[in-house]
Structure 1
Amino acid sequence: MIEFLKENWLVIIIVLNYLLTISAVITIFYRNLNPTKTLTYIIVLVFFPFLGLLIYYLFGQEYRKTKIFNRKNILNKQIIKELNSQLNLDNKALEDLEDHFLNEKIRLVKLIQNNDKTPLTLYNKVKILKNGENKFKKLFEDINAAKHHIHLEYYILKDDTIGTELLNLLCKKAKLGIEVRLSVDDVGASISGDMKQKIIDSGIEFYAFMPVLYPKFTSRMNYRNHRKIVVIDGNIGYLGGINIADDYVNAPDKNKYWRDTHIRIEGEAVITLQIQFLINWEFVSNSKINIIANYFPKKPCKAKLAIQIAASGPDTDWPNILDALFSAITSAKKYIYITTPYFIPNDEIIMALQIASRSGVDVRLLIPNESDSWTAKYATNSYLQRLFDADIKIYRYTKGFLHAKTLVVDGIISTIGTSNMDYRSFSINFEINAFFYDKKTSENLKDIFIEDLKNSIEMSLEIWKNRSNLEKLKEAYCKLWAPLL
């Protein structure tokens, strides 16, 4: 028997591989995924022995709605129920808002509110922060002024120059008795052991989201926390595309320009942002947090600006951000302006954009000229022909790397957040976006989009058609991996 195993070990391993492959394929069929994703996984499993199983293990496992992400205890707290009850508008209030200016777009408000019990907040003040240097200047001012607590949740946090400055400031505040809680994604973040020890010694509560053994080798692993959230004293909130790293700051001596967008919020929407932070904190810390009134201070905002904070991820019943983006696109009458670093959408988003453009809506897409990911770049390119077919205008940002994630519809609805226009953001990672129902904010975001076009080139259909066969081959190859990117 031992001799047989020695002589036929390779055959045995191959047979075992395909037995596991057959089991995985059957599982995929039962999960009833969309045909594109199903076919992608089957091709990988069948034609890439061993490697295919590894890829399926890392990317194909479906944990949505399972116990690993069953994080609803915070929502059951009495104080949270009362806050949501106070914020939720009745039908009369929604009708008044509809009559005011939203018209049929009120369905987007109801969609997000029903799906994730995300209340529409009416009294808020918002500042759009263009690029990291503006964000960090304001953020550091607010942290310095913090009186009770500072809550931070980030995908990427590096202890480089800007990261060390932030962490040192947090340590200083913690030593002064301010409650500081910090959560980072274990794959996205890069913090030295010495700095981690300093953080803990200063009194900061620090946890990594879903720790992995080898973060450097798992950058595309599923179910990462892609959110960027800050809540200070329950009164001020931050969210958007800007992580904590020197890459995001345009210093005078920096060679590569980084174009990004973030927001600072004061008002009722901070309550929802705080709740989302606390839900995640209870998960990463694996402990029940004591919810106190100081996390939700009653500091009324007089400015009227309607905002909904939409969160999505494996712990939500519906892909809330995807649903909201789809609804916003299909509601457009005049224009749709999209800025995204990665455009790897599903068929529903592509079709919605095509129909909008063919119906006379001015649809424009702004993407980077140079991507930070070879596969993402060519996967994005593989979708552009379908946009050209519907006369959608496509622009490439040439001043530097474009990382902003924004959408504006008709100068009425707009969004800024962490979600890219790709499969990963729509259905795999944890994301969070702010949706604004406000003409001034939406017009402001439109003006920023138009300003960015001055540093962009419009893609020519004729030049696009004449690209090399090698480029087309790269696109076809990367499109096969699109559901995994």
Structure 2
Amino acid sequence: MDRPNLPTFPTRSLEDRSRRRRQRFTEDKLVKIRTEHNNVGAFKTMLAALVILIQLGIIIALSFLPATIALVWYLAVMFVISVFTAISVMSSHRNTQAKAVWVLFILLFFFCGFIIYFMSNDKYMYARARRRHREIFARSEHFLPEHTAVNASDEMAHMCAYLNSAGNFRSYNNTRLNYFSSGAQLFDDVIESLKGAQSFVFIEYYAVSDGVLISRIWDVLEEKIKQGVDVRMIYDDVGSRAFSHAMRKKMRAAGAQVRVFNRLLSRFTFAMNYRDHRKIIVIDGKIAYTGGSNVADEYINEKHMHGYWKDTGLRIEGEAVDSFTLFFLRQWEFITNKKCEYTPYMGHYERFSSSYVAAPYVDGPEYELTICKSVFEHVISSARERLYIMTPYFIPDDSVTQCIINKALSGVDVRIILPSVPDKYYVYLVTCDNAEKLIKHGVKIYYLRDSFVHSKLAINETCAVVGTVNFDMRSFYQQFEDALLTDDQNVLAQINADFENTFPDCDNPQKPAKNGLVKTVAIALLRLVSPLM
């Protein structure tokens, strides 16, 4: 029987409310609604419609020829183009699995596959936007300090050097970090920090939804706007479908600057599938936040989506805040197509004496290298004693998978925590199949009981990554992401404690689950397209 809705207590902390719901959620009915791993259905529909129109045009042109000759010519031309396209795919810099899927698709559907490939290829369809990003980078990079070698272990120093070379990202020593083991803890701290805002508040999120959380945040921001605080928000159009027009209108009327990232249906653009998956809050240039949680009630367990919602976050103070300010302003300039004034928002941080390193970074179509994937590979390969991973989706490519296997075979304690409740069943099938295939190599797989794990963590004995990056192809190759790499021993201890507290609440299978015929066939078919998930 469903429990009645719990009363609302405005003065109770979000973490306290989340903890109470954690005790009760197993008796509540799980509400199945859409989450982050949505496919962009409208994009696919319009893409298919365009392909059909092109094909109809060719058919009409050939209709003036005798039927048999026209058909032969049509198929011959399409096949030749498809063969050359397949050769182009094989010589590209895509990952091997994605190449195989595209070649199979192009040759199997040679009458339209090559068109879909070129229309979805960021090399062709995102080139103009990438040039704009580069112009923005060039005009704003002088706000970053000069890169200097960090005082850290060899592994950490190498990773920081890579981040500087790959994306011009800086690594900082004078920074203080604090880790949150739940979304409710994170947003309790965010709301308290917002109350002290004096100059500006920048918010960039994939998913913003009407509800208790945004109302709590807006109550504070509305007062701050009256005090003259500059409030700006970026939300992703796909992730924020539950962010109502009425709420946005209310915020804008009060003086907040609210902008949408990559509006889905405003115009037909082939970049629709590139989503802003970042989660950034900057307050006065002194405090920044990031992590897995979005601004929606499920992330604080105010609403039961798929069981208990497990998430994490990070508070940043000190020099590293400037990087998050820069990340936001660059995205703001890209969206608004207006040059930003960076100077008023930089250099307001408080200096902290710390020997530990904090290295913020972002990734997305604007960068040529797969930065997030490479950092994960660095963390995995540098593990000597233990490697703990927490992720909602586990669909890595072969290089990451082999890296994890090699670590387990070398004696490293490798553990991966996954959800036991799926948000998208077809993705979950591939996730579980990928993970359980690692058991025979010594990797320990954990499923958090009656819960959806949304945390994005990777930690070894010397460093950790906290951010928005899933272990899947979309995060590695397609979406705009952000994260922070650190060797801060205090944060590492907090993250390790979170893992150790979570393991007892997990099921730990000792061998892969046995699948029936239908499920086995379904997994095999899904595996063909898993590189595109």
TM-score by length of 2: 0.80
Query: In 1, are the aligned partners of 2:306 and 2:421 still within 8 Å (CA)?
Result: no
In structure 2, the residue matched to 1:245 is 296
Aligned to 2:56: none
> Does the CA-based 8 Å contact 2:389-2:458 persist in structure 1?
yes
- Segment of structure 1 superposing worse, 247-256 or 49-58: 49-58
Shift of 1:436: 1.0
Any residues of structure 2 matched to 1:354-369 within 5 Å, and which?
A: 354-369=405-420
Deviation sequence 1:308-348 (CA, Å, 0-9, x none): 01211111232122111111211111010000100000111
2:495 maps to what in 1? Answer: 445
Q: Residue type matched to 2:474 in 1?
A: R
Q: Give the drift of 1:183.
A: 0.7
Taking structure 1 as reference, are residues 19 and 179 closer, same or farther at Cα in structure 2, changes over 3 Å only? Answer: farther
Counterpart CA distance in 1 for 2:84 and 2:386 is 47
Whether the 8 Å CA contact 2:262–2:272 is kept in 1: the answer is no
Q: Distance in 2 between matches of 1:295 and 1:84?
A: 11
Gaps of 5+ in 1: none
CA displacement, residues 205-247 of structure 1 (integer Å, 9 cap, x when unaligned): 22111111189xx9x9632111000000000000010001111
The change in CA–CA distance for 1:389 and 1:5 in structure 2 (over 3 A counts) is farther
**What is residue 470 of structure 1 aligned with on the other side?**
518
* Higher alpha-carbon deviation: 35-44 or 49-58: 49-58
* Structure whose residues are more often strand by fraction: 1
Whole-Å Cα distance in 2 between the matches of residues 389 and 46 of structure 1? 35
Measured at CA, do residues 59 and 73 of structure 1 come closer, stay the same or move farther in structure 2, by a change above 3 Å? Answer: closer
Letter in 1 for 2:479: N
Instruction: Please list every run of 5 or more consecutive structure 2 residues that lacks an aligned counterpart in the other structure.
Output: 1-59
Q: Does residue 1:163 correspond to 2:214, yes or no?
A: yes
Cα distance change of structure 1 residues 47 and 170 upon mapping to structure 2, 3 Å threshold: farther
Distance 1:2 1:222, change over 3 A: closer
SS at match of 1:72: helix
Q: Please give the residue correspondences for 1:226-265 in structure 2 after superposition, counting only pairs within 5 Å.
A: 226-251=277-302, 256-265=307-316
Contact persistence 1:378–1:479 (CA under 8 A): no
Q: Residues 260-279 of structure 1: matches in 2 within 5 Å?
A: 260-279=311-330
Supply the AA of the counterpart residue of 1:480. L
Q: In 2, are the aligned partners of 1:319 and 1:426 still within 8 Å (CA)?
A: yes
| Count of residues in correspondence between the two structures | 469
The worse-fitting range, judged by mean Cα deviation, of 165-174 and 326-335 is: 165-174
CA shift for structure 1 position 193: 2.1
CA distance in 1 between partners of 2:336 and 2:450 (Å): 41
Letter in 2 for 1:440: N
Matches within 5 A, 1:230-379: 230-251=281-302, 256-379=307-430
Question: Superposition pairs for residues 147-186 of structure 1, below 5 Å?
Answer: 147-186=198-237
Q: Does 1:416 align with 2:466?
A: yes
Does the aligned pair in 1 maintain the 2:325–2:345 contact within 8 Å? Answer: no
Q: How does 1:43-54 map to 2 (within 5 A)?
A: 43-47=104-108
Partners of 1:135 and 1:38 lie apart in 2 by: 40
Question: What is the DSSP-based 3-state SS (H/G/I as helix, E as strand, rest coil) of the residue aligned with 1:316?
Answer: coil
3-state DSSP of counterpart to 1:341: coil
Shift of 1:150: 0.4
Contact kept in structure 1, 2:97 and 2:398, CA below 8 Å: no
**CA 1:8–1:399 in 2, change beyond 3 Å: closer, same or farther?**
same
Q: Which amino acid aligns with 2:516?
A: S
1:81 corresponds in structure 2 to: 142
What is the aligned counterpart of 2:443 among 392, 409, 412? Answer: 392
The one-character-per-residue Cα deviations of 1:274-303 (angstroms, maximum 9, x if unpaired) are: 111111111111110012244321522235
CA–CA distance in structure 2, aligned partners of residues 136 and 63 of structure 1: 40
Structure 1 residues 193-208: aligned runs within 5 Å: 193-208=245-260
Secondary structure in 2 matching 1:353: helix
Task: Name the CA shift for 1:129/1:347 in 2 (closer, same or farther; >3 Å).
Answer: same
- Which of 72, 77, 87 aligns to 2:134? It is 72
Aligned CA distance change for structure 1 residues 121 and 105 (closer, same or farther; 3 Å): closer
Conserved? CA contact 1:72–1:279, under 8 Å:
no
How far does residue 56 in structure 1 lie from its aligned partner after superposition?
4.0
Q: CA deviation at 1:402?
A: 0.5
Equivalents in 2 of 1:196, 1:57: separation in Å? 36
Determine the C-alpha separation between the residues in 2 that align with 1:6 and 1:231. Answer: 64
> Distance in 1 between the 2:431 and 2:171 partners?
33
Cα shift readout 1:113-155 (whole Å, capped 9, x = no counterpart): 2222211111111121222222221111112211000001111
Q: Does the 8 A contact of 1:151 with 1:277 survive in 2?
A: yes
CA RMSD of aligned residues (A): 3.1
Q: Label 1:179 to 1:2 Cα distance change in 2 as closer, same or farther (>3 A).
A: closer
Identity of aligned residues (%): 26
Give per-residue Cα distances to partners, 1:251-290, cap 9 Å, x unaligned. 3988831000011111111111111111111111111001
3-state SS in 1 of match to 2:123: coil
Structure 1 range deviating more: 365-374 or 106-115: 106-115
What is the alpha-carbon distance in structure 1 between the residues aligned to residue 118 and residue 247 of structure 2? Answer: 32
Helix, strand or coil at the partner of 1:122: coil
**Separation in 2 of the partners of 1:41 and 1:146?**
49
Match of 1:457 in 2: 507
SS of equivalent residue, structure 2 residue 411: coil
Q: CA deviation at 1:47?
A: 4.1
